[in-house]
């Protein structure tokens, strides 16, 4: 047990260089970001994933020690915004006591957050109470909600990755605030931290599994009666089964009512009583590791049944799947194609609605939910036209999704690559989601390619690596 937790809290300086999502061969200028972390057992440093993302050089500073130490990322969990760092120089850990991970703190209990906010070299402490425990969207990955602690302790830039301490144990990792809310900070709770640590025990991070269901409340008496349920407060209804979750499709049905998850009663609002807090029952799904099964008690066709539902990490997460890896791209005749992703959209500006055609928006956020037949593995977008006499009259606007090339449907960058190899005459023909079509003369495009790459200082005409772990 650490008597002086601040000695175990470190400052992290990340010299990061993220990709340019519109011109994917380019990288942004190197920017330094500041964050916090803390030492846990095994000579590891825990911090937030967003603190160490896109890192080119990581420097860590011990408490009141001017010496910089080089660190590297050992594991990173973007979905839960946690990361583990290691420091090669073992001297770094000398005299530092590893902090222990505690239990979920009670609402209204006090915590102290430790960290290095606003770039100061002196550690900062803020005390607050746990004001709420509920599911919140984790901003780093955008499309995932996990259990979160809300506190009135000030959490500012630089605090990220620092521990929230109660009774000398870590009961959370500071990770985000919310613009517009005063005196409100958010902390990753011990349950999520422990899930992450358990996950990496086999040397690989898998992630948080997803059941692939849309669960909505079942409070309307008529809907309950239509399903043969009494007008009480138990059970929430499965409104939709998402894609791609084959095991869920096999075992669950729309209008199944979830009465219990892991033997815990589910209310008609989808909530359970979780360590004294009413939180959404998905918190229990998040306790399972990739491939593990969850016991569900369902109401189906007028009777209660029990089944074991295996849950898996959604590796085909089409919205955020590649956002923390260098984006793939392919340049042909000066046309730059890349994957449509949340990061790509984010790079277009704050108001996505105005900057993006609704059909492109639909491609990313809606189509993949419909069915596997309709979904594109990864929509490919024309992100740029590098002007050259051979393509100067190319008449398709950027941000349009390419649907077909040389007669082949395009669902991924590999499809695009294959389609370009399979041209049957002198032209590459492109069809786009907007209905527009265009063509390139293959010989002209080929001749232009070297010149374009040189002119625009592009190292390679393509980056096609497999991006999923």
Partner 1 sequence: MIKSSFTLAFLLVASLGLAQARAFTPKAAVVEIEITKKTYDYRMPWVSRNEQTHKNGILIGQNQILTTADGFSGQYLCRITKGGESRQYTALIKWIDFYANIAMLDVSEPIFWQDMEPVKLAKKIPQSGDLQIYRWRSGRIEERAAEIIRLYNDTNKMSFLQHLKLSASSEITGAGWAEVVFDGAQLVGLTESASKDNRFNILPAPFIISVIEHNQSSDNPGLGTFDFRWMNAKNPALLRSKGLLNMPDRGVVVTEVGRRRLAHNRLKSGDVILAIDGFEVDSEGKYLDPDYGRLSISGLATRAHSAKDIIFMTIWRDQAKHKIAYALPRAQFSKSLIPSERYDASPHYLVAGGLLFQPLNGPLMRALGKNKPVLLDYYNDRPPLEGRDGIVLLSKVLPDDYNRGYEVIHYIMVDQINGHVIHKLEDVKAALAQPEAGFHRIQFMPDEATHQIVLDSTKMPKATERILQHYRIPKPSSL
- Whichever of 97 and 404 has its CB closer to partner 1, that residue is 404
Question: Distance between CA 203 and CA 436 in Å, rounded?
Answer: 48
> Residue 440 interacts with partner 1 (CB under 8 A)?
yes
**Any idea how long the chain is?**
469
CB of 205 to partner 1, least distance (A): 30
> Residue 142 interacts with partner 1 (CB under 8 A)?
no
Look at residue 328 and give its three-state secondary structure. coil
Question: Distance between CA 38 and CA 202 in Å, rounded?
Answer: 22
Token pair 């791209």 is found at 329
User: DSSP class of residue 82?
Assistant: E
Cβ atoms 378, 356 nearer than 8 A: no
Cβ atoms 390, 404 nearer than 8 A: no
- Whichever of 9 and 215 has its CB closer to partner 1, that residue is 215
Q: Which stretch binds partner 1 (CB under 8 A): 100-108, 120-128, 197-205, 437-445?
A: 437-445
Question: Distance between CA 306 and CA 284 in Å, rounded?
Answer: 16
CB of 304 to partner 1, least distance (A): 20
Which residues are part of the catalytic machinery?
Answer: 50, 81, 160
Q: Which of residues 256-275 bind partner 1 (CB under 8 A)?
A: none
> Encoding tokens for residue 182?
């005063």
- Whichever of 200 and 352 has its CB closer to partner 1, that residue is 352
Q: Which of residues 407-436 bind partner 1 (CB under 8 A)?
A: 425-427, 429, 434-436
Q: Which stretch binds partner 1 (CB under 8 A): 15-23, 205-213, 276-284, 359-367?
A: 359-367
Of 90, 202, 393, 465, the one binding partner 1 by CB under 8 A: 393
Tally Cβ neighbours within 10 Å of residue 417. 18
Q: Which of residues 295-354 bind partner 1 (CB under 8 A)?
A: 353
- Whichever of 43 and 220 has its CB closer to partner 1, that residue is 220
Token pair 């073992």 is found at 90
Start-to-end CA distance of the chain, whole Å, equals 36
> Residue 236 interacts with partner 1 (CB under 8 A)?
no
> Residue 254 interacts with partner 1 (CB under 8 A)?
yes
Cβ atoms 235, 268 nearer than 8 A: yes
- How many residues contact partner 1, by CB under 8 A? 43
> Residue 218 interacts with partner 1 (CB under 8 A)?
yes
Give strand pairing partners of 337: 330, 382
Of 65, 134, 275, 357, the one binding partner 1 by CB under 8 A: 357
- Whichever of 130 and 401 has its CB closer to partner 1, that residue is 401
Q: Is the peptide bond before 244 cis (omega within 30 degrees of 0)?
A: yes
CB of 361 to partner 1, least distance (A): 5
Of 43, 64, 72, 226, the one binding partner 1 by CB under 8 A: 226
> Residue 456 interacts with partner 1 (CB under 8 A)?
no
Long-range contacts of the stretch 390-394 (C-beta < 8 A, 24+):
390/333, 390/334, 390/440, 390/441, 390/444, 390/445, 390/447, 390/448, 391/333, 391/334, 391/335, 391/440, 391/445, 391/448, 394/334, 394/335, 394/438, 394/440
> Residue 395 interacts with partner 1 (CB under 8 A)?
yes
- Whichever of 222 and 466 has its CB closer to partner 1, that residue is 222
- Whichever of 191 and 248 has its CB closer to partner 1, that residue is 248
For 141, list phi and psi in degrees, rounded to 5. -105, -10
Binding site for partner 1 (CB under 8 A): 214, 216-223, 225-226, 239-240, 254, 353, 357-359, 361-362, 365-367, 369-370, 391, 393-396, 425-427, 429, 434-441, 444
């Amino acid at each position: 047990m650490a008597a002086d937790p601040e000695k175990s809290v470190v400052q992290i300086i990340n010299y990061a260089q993220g990709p340019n999502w519109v011109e994917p061969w380019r990288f942004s200028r190197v920017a330094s970001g500041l964050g916090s972390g803390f030492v846990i057992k095994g000579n590891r440093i825990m911090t937030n994933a967003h603190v160490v993302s896109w890192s080119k050089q990581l420097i860590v500073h011990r408490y009141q020690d001017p010496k910089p130490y080089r660190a590297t990322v050992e594991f990173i969990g973007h979905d839960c915004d946690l990361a583990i760092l290691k420091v090669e120089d073992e001297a770094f850990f000398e005299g530092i006591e590893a902090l222990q991970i505690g239990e979920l703190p009670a609402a209204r209990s006090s915590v102290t957050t430790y960290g290095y906010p606003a770039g100061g070299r002196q550690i900062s402490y803020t005390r607050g109470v746990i004001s709420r425990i509920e599911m919140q969207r984790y901003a780093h990955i955008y499309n995932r909600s996990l259990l979160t602690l809300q506190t009135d302790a000030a959490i500012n830039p630089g605090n990220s990755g620092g521990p929230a301490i109660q009774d000398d144990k870590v009961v959370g990792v500071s990770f985000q605030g919310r613009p517009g809310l005063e005196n409100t900070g958010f902390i990753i709770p011990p349950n999520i931290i422990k899930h992450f640590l358990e996950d990496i025990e086999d040397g690989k991070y898998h992630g948080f599994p997803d059941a692939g269901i849309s669960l909505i409340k079942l409070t309307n008496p008529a809907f309950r009666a239509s399903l043969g349920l009494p007008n009480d407060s138990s059970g929430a209804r499965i409104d939709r089964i998402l894609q791609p979750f084959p095991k869920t499709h096999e075992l669950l049905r729309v209008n199944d009512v979830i009465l219990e998850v892991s033997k815990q009663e589910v209310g008609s609002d989808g909530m359970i009583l979780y360590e004294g807090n009413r939180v959404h029952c998905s918190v229990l799904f998040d306790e399972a590791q990739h491939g593990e099964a969850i016991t569900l008690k369902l109401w189906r066709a007028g009777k209660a049944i029990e089944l074991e539902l295996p849950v898996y990490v959604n590796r085909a997460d089409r919205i955020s799947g590649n956002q923390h890896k260098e984006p793939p791209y392919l340049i042909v005749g000066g046309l730059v194609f890349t994957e449509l992703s949340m990061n790509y959209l984010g790079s277009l500006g704050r108001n996505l609605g105005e900057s993006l055609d609704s059909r492109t928006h639909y491609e990313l956020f809606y189509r993949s939910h419909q069915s596997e037949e309709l979904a594109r593995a990864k929509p490919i977008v024309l992100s740029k036209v590098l002007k050259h006499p051979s393509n100067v009259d190319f008449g398709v606007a950027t941000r349009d999704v390419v649907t077909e090339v040389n007669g082949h449907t395009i669902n991924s960058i590999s499809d695009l690559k294959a389609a370009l190899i399979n041209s049957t005459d002198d032209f590459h023909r492109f069809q786009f989601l907007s209905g527009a079509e265009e063509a390139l003369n293959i010989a002209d495009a080929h001749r232009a390619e070297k010149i374009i790459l040189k002119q625009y200082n592009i190292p390679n005409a393509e980056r096609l690596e497999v991006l999923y772990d």
